[in-house]
């Protein structure tokens, strides 16, 4: 007679990670919608006499924003599912945010706090 297999309980998601995941998805959706607007906007701008190169530049910015928005949504879903790749990507984004806000302390506080929190909850990610 064989003994039943032991399945470890699923890891618990800290409430802070859940909030961070939801906010990350929401930011991603807003960036995605803004990017889509920038993709459609050049069509109307060129129709009103705006030079074509300017419209193309706005379209390229919109395409980049769409990709960034999709990346944010993916990271938010990865954080929700406690994936280690999402943890690493969130840490990289926070470190880059710290470097970009290094000249202004007030802008660096939020990324610093998020980075510290991510380091504290690292054990929950697989």
Q: Where are the domains of the chain?
A: 15-124
For residue 99, the 8-state DSSP code is: H
Percentage of the chain lying above the pLDDT 90 cut = 54
CB of 126 closer than 8 Å to CB of 81: no
Backbone angles phi, psi at 83, to 5 degrees: -85, 140
State which residues of the chain have pLDDT below 70.
Answer: 1-3, 8-11, 46
Predicted pLDDT of residue 10: 65
Predicted pLDDT of residue 42: 81
């Amino acid at each position: 007679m064989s003994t039943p297999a032991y399945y470890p309980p699923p890891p618990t998601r800290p409430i802070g990670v859940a909030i961070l995941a939801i906010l990350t998805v929401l930011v991603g959706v807003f960036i995605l919608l803004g990017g889509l607007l920038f993709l459609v906007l050049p069509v109307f701008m060129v129709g009103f006499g705006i030079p074509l190169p300017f419209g193309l530049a706005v379209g390229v910015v919109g395409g980049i924003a769409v990709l960034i928005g999709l990346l944010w949504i993916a990271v938010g879903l990865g954080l929700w599912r406690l994936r280690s790749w999402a943890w690493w990507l969130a840490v990289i984004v926070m470190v880059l945010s710290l470097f970009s806000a290094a000249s202004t302390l007030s802008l660096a506080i939020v990324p610093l706090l998020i980075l510290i929190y991510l380091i504290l909850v690292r054990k929950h990610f697989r």
